A and B are shown apart, each in its own frame.
Chain A
C-alpha cells in the first residue's frame, strides 16, 4: 500500500518505521525543517518538509495515488483539515486521524474522517482494564452510530446478583449481548438467566445511558 503520514512526531515516526518494515511505501510530511531533516536520516525514506495542511505540499507527496492518509499531528484542527483535503480534493480512499481531544470524536466522524483514533480514550480504557475495581470498561464504538460496546463486571454486592435478567431494570438504548461466567462459560442472555457475582457482562449502550446501565448492573440497591 502507499501510505501518507502527516506529522513526524512520536506517533508519525513510529508508524512510518513500522510500515516501511512491512514493505509498504511511505511518504511522511513534517512542518519543522529540523525535525524533518532528523527523520530523513533516521528513516532514509521519503520525507517532505512542509505544512501538510497545504494542498501543494500534499501534492508533492504523490497523494493522488495514495491508498491511505494518516493525520498524526498534535493539533486536531490541522488533522481535520488534512483529512478533509485528502478526501475531497484528492479522493484518498481511507483517511485516518489521531484525535487529541476526545470531544472532537463525533465531529470527525460526522465530517467523514474514516477512522478517528482517540488517543486519550485508548489510554483511559487501558487504565480502566488495569484497575481491578473498575466496573465498566469501553471495548469499542460501533461505527456510524452513537453506540458503544462495554464490559461490566458484576460485583458481589450488586443488587442484580441472583436476579433473573427479566427483573433487572435495564435503561433504554441498552442491551446485554453476552454474559461470561467466571469459569469462562458463555451465556446468551434471556429474561430467565440469573446473574452471578463476578460475571462479565458485554453490553451495547450509548454514552448517555452508560451510567444508568452501570447502576442497573452494579448498584447495591
Chain B
C-alpha cells in the first residue's frame, strides 16, 4: 500500500515507522525540515517538507496515488481539514485522523471520518490502570 502520513509528530513517527516496517511505501509530510530529521533514515529519503492543509502540497506529496492518508499532526483543526480534503477532494479510499479533543472527535466520527482521540484513549487506559 502507498501511505501518506501528515505530521511528523511523535505519533506520526511511530505510525510511519511501523507501516514502513510492514513493507508499505510511506511518505511523511511536515512543514518543518527539522522535524523530518527525527525519522528513521529510510523514511527520510521519501519525506517531504510541506503543509498538509494545502491542496497543492498534498498533490506534490502524491496524494492522488495514495491508498491511505493518515493525519496525525499535533493540531486537531489541521488534521480535520487535511483528512476531509483527502476524503472529499482526493477520494483517498482509507483516511484516518487524530482529533485529540474528545467532543470534536465524536463530531467528526458522526460526519463520517475515521477519527481517533488520543486524549480519550490515554484517559481510558489510565482509568483502567486505576481500576485493576
Binding site for B on A (CB under 8 A): 53-55, 75-78, 80-81, 84-85, 88-89, 101, 103-104, 106-107, 110-111
Interface magnitude class on chain B: 20 to 34
Evaluate contact between A84 and B111: CB separation under 8 angstroms: yes
Evaluate contact between B77 and A78: CB separation under 8 angstroms: yes
In the complex, residue of chain B having the shortest beta-carbon distance to the beta carbon of A112: B111
**13 examples of A-B residue contacts, CB within 8 angstroms:** A54-B101, A55-B104, A77-B53, A77-B75, A77-B77, A77-B81, A80-B80, A81-B76, A88-B107, A88-B110, A88-B111, A104-B81, A111-B88
* Complex CA–CA separation, A27 to B118 (angstroms): 32
Evaluate contact between A103 and B55: CB separation under 8 angstroms: yes
* Complex CA–CA separation, A81 to B82 (angstroms): 11
B30 at the interface (CB under 8 A from A): no
In the complex, residue of chain B having the shortest beta-carbon distance to the beta carbon of A103: B55
Q: Among residues 35 to 70 in chain B, which have CB atoms less than 8 Å away from a CB atom of chain A?
A: 53-56
Given known pairs A55-B104, A88-B111, A111-B84, the reply for A76 and B89 (CB within 8 Å) is: no
Evaluate contact between A110 and B88: CB separation under 8 angstroms: yes
Name the distance in Å between B85's Cβ and chain A's nearest Cβ. Answer: 5
Name the distance in Å between A108's Cβ and chain B's nearest Cβ. Answer: 10
In the complex, residue of chain B having the shortest beta-carbon distance to the beta carbon of A53: B77
Instruction: Give the top 7 A-B pairs by smallest Cβ distance, nearest first.
Output: A77-B81, A77-B77, A81-B77, A103-B55, A77-B78, A55-B103, A78-B77
* Complex CA–CA separation, A81 to B85 (angstroms): 13
Point out the residues of chain B lying under 8 angstroms from A110, CB to CB.
Answer: 88-89
Interface centre among A53, A77, A80 (most CB of B within 10 A): A77
Evaluate contact between A103 and B54: CB separation under 8 angstroms: yes
Name the distance in Å between A76's Cβ and chain B's nearest Cβ. Answer: 7
Name the distance in Å between B101's Cβ and chain A's nearest Cβ. Answer: 7
* Complex CA–CA separation, A104 to B88 (angstroms): 12
Name the distance in Å between A103's Cβ and chain B's nearest Cβ. Answer: 4
* Complex CA–CA separation, A148 to B118 (angstroms): 42
Given known pairs A76-B53, A103-B55, A111-B88, the reply for A85 and B107 (CB within 8 Å) is: yes
Point out the residues of chain A lying under 8 angstroms from B110, CB to CB.
Answer: 88
Write the B103-118 contact mask toward A (1 if CB under 8 angstroms, else 0): 1100100110000000
Evaluate contact between B88 and A75: CB separation under 8 angstroms: no
Evaluate contact between A81 and B56: CB separation under 8 angstroms: no
Point out the residues of chain A lying under 8 angstroms from B107, CB to CB.
Answer: 84-85, 88-89
* Complex CA–CA separation, A13 to B75 (angstroms): 26
Point out the residues of chain A lying under 8 angstroms from B103, CB to CB.
Answer: 55, 89
* Complex CA–CA separation, A77 to B53 (angstroms): 7
* Complex CA–CA separation, A147 to B39 (angstroms): 44
Name the distance in Å between B38's Cβ and chain A's nearest Cβ. Answer: 23
* Complex CA–CA separation, A24 to B89 (angstroms): 37
* Complex CA–CA separation, A101 to B54 (angstroms): 8
